[in-house]
Structure 1
Amino acid sequence: MNYFGLLLLFHVASSVKHSLRYFLTATYGVEDFPEFVGAATVDEFQVGYCDSNIKTAKPKQDWMRKLIERNPEHLEWYSQKCLGSQHVFRANIDDLKQRLNLTEGPYILQRMNGCEWDDETGEITGFNQYGYNGEDFLALDLKTLTWTAPKPQAVLTKLIWDAKKARLEHNKNYYIYKCPDWLKNYIRHGKSFLQRTESPSISLLQKTPSSVVSCHATGFFPDRAEMFWRKDGEQIHEDVEKGEILLNNDGTFQMSVELNVSSVPPESWKRYDCVFQLSGVGDDIKITLDKSAIRTNWVYSPEFPAAPVAGIVGGFLLILLLVIAVVVLRTKKSTDEEKQYSGFQLVMERIKR
C-alpha cells in the first residue's frame, strides 16, 4: 500500500511540511510476528514503538525520552492507546472476516493516521487510512466526515462507519486540533535532531569502461535533496536515470544518478558535472566527470593489451593440458600392467567422476 510518497524539497526557498504519523498493524495467523504492532514517526523518524508482547509504549529517540521523563502521563497515554487499539483491531478483523466471508488466513489489518503541518503557510492536513490484507480498504474524508471505499468489499463497512457520527466528530477534532498541537510540540523538542543538516560525500562509480557512470551521494540529512547531471552548466535528462533516496543504517540518506557515457567522446567528459542540492544548505556540491576521479573495481593496464595477454594465457593452458594428458596415459599404462590403483590414479578417477 502506498500510503505516503517521498517528499522532495529543493534548496530553493520553500516551506517545510512536518508530519506525525502512527502505523498500527494487527495480524491473525502470522507466525513469529506479534499480533499487534504500533509505531509513531515524526518527520519520517520513528519516535515510539509498542507491540502485544511488550505491552507498553517505548520512546525511540533520546529527545523523545527526555520529553517523556518530564511528562510521564504522555507515555501512559500511549501505552493505554496501544493496549486499547489491540483489542479494537482484533474485533475489526473478526468483523471483516464475517462481512467478507473469509475462511482462510492469515489476515492483516493496518492503519496509517496522523497529520501534516506546513510551518510556513500554517496549513494542516489530517488523514486516517486503513488497509486489509495488503490492499487499500478505507480512508476518511475530513471535509465531508465520511469514509471512502476504494473497493466494493469495503462498502458495507463504510456505511456502518459513516453512521457513527460521534466517532467522526472525535476524528475531526483530533486530526485538526490535537494532532497538530502534539506535532508542533515534538518539532520544538526534537529540533536539533530533526532540523539538522549533514552534507554527503560524493563519488563517481563505474563497473567497467562501457558501463554507466553513477554519481553517488551518501551520508546526507535530511532527505529533502535533489541530484542531477549537467552539460555546459545546463541540466540534462537524456541518458540520465535517477535512483530513489534510501535510508542508511545511521539515519542519514543516500542517492544516485546515472549517466550513460557510451556516446560521450573522451574529450567532452569535462563538459559534464554532477550536482547535489540539499534543502537548508546554500551551496551546491559539484563533481566534474573525469576518468581519474572514477572509482571502479575494473583493472586496466595499457602496457599489456587484452588480446595478446589472452593469447599467451591460452597457449600456456594448452601446453599444461598436453603435459597432464601424457602423465595420465603413462599412469594408466602402469596400472594395466600392475593391475592395481596407485593413490594418484584414485585421485584421477574421482576427478573423472
Structure 2
Amino acid sequence: MRAVVLLLLEVTLACAGTHSLKYFFTAVSGDIDFPEFTIVGLVDEEHFIYFDSNMKKVVPKTEWMKQKEGADYWDTQSQLAAGTHQVFRNNIQVAKEKFNHSTGVHTFQLTYGCEWDDQTGATDGFRQEGYDGEDFMSLDLKEMRWISPVQQGFSTQNKWNNNRAYLEGRNITSALSALSAAWRKQVHPLGIIVFSLSVSPQVSLLQKSSSSPVSCHATGFYPSGVTVTWMRNGQEHHTDVDLSETLPNEDRTFQKTSTIRVTPIELKKNQYSCVVKHQGETIRKILTEKEIRTNRGDSVRSGIIVFAVVVLVVIGVAGYIVCQKKRGEDGQL
C-alpha cells in the first residue's frame, strides 16, 4: 500500500513528555455530499495536515508546516495521496462485497499511529481498520499478528497472518524504536521513510540603550532543548548573566533569552559573544555595535523629526511677525 509521507513537528505543552502521532485515512462510497477519500494527520490531537479527493492536494494546517516545506514537497505528497486514494477506492469495494452491501452509504477507514514518552523512552503503537464505524481488522504489535472481531474479516486475517513477508512489511516496531531513540525522525508505518524534524533558532542581540543589558534572544526553534551561553575572550562567562526559562511560542516552537550586563569600557577591552546550541548546530553572535539591534536609532530619528518641526514652527512665527510688521509700516505710509 502506498502511503502519504508527512513531516512531523510535535510538542505537547499540557502533558510534558508524552506525545502522539495519528493518521486517519477514510474512504466513502454512496450518494453523499462528502469527499470520496480524505486524510487527516494529528500531532498530539492537533490537526496538522489534510487531503481530500475533491481538492486533490495535501495542505498544511499549521503555520510551522507552511514554513517548513516548499511547493515541490506538497506537490509530491499530493501525488502520493492521489495514489493512496485509488487503493482505498478498491478497499471499500472489497469490504462491501464481504458484507454483501451493494447499495447505500458505506465507509472504510484506516487509523494508525504511535505514542512515545521522550523522558522514559517508552513507545506504543497501533494500526486498525474499520468498516461502517465498526472494527474490521487490527494489528497486535506484541504478537505481530492480525486480529478480526467479525466473521467477514477472518479470511483476510488468516491470509495476512500466513504471509510473513506481508506481515513484516507492516511491522512498525522498528518505527517505534526509532521514534524513541530520536524525536527528529519519523518512520512511516507503511513506508520506512525518514524526515528531519528540527527547526533552527533565529538568534538576535537586543539592547534598549548603550547603558542597558544586552539580551541574546533565540526563538522559533524546535524541539525545545537548547543552550544559550555567553563567552568572554573565548571562555565561558557567567558573571552578571541572567538566563530565562524556555517558553513556548504560539506556533508551538520555542524561545529562550539570556541577558548580560557589561559596561561599554568592558566591551571595548574584551570580546563578548553569545553561543546558542540546538540539535548539533551552533550559532555564535559577537557583541558589536553593528550586530546589536537597538531602538537608539529610532530615538535619534524621532529627535531629528521633533527638532525639524520646532525649526519650522520658529521660522513660521518669525515670518508671521515680519509680515505683520511690514503691513504696519505699509499702513503708516
Q: TM-score, normalised by structure 2?
A: 0.49
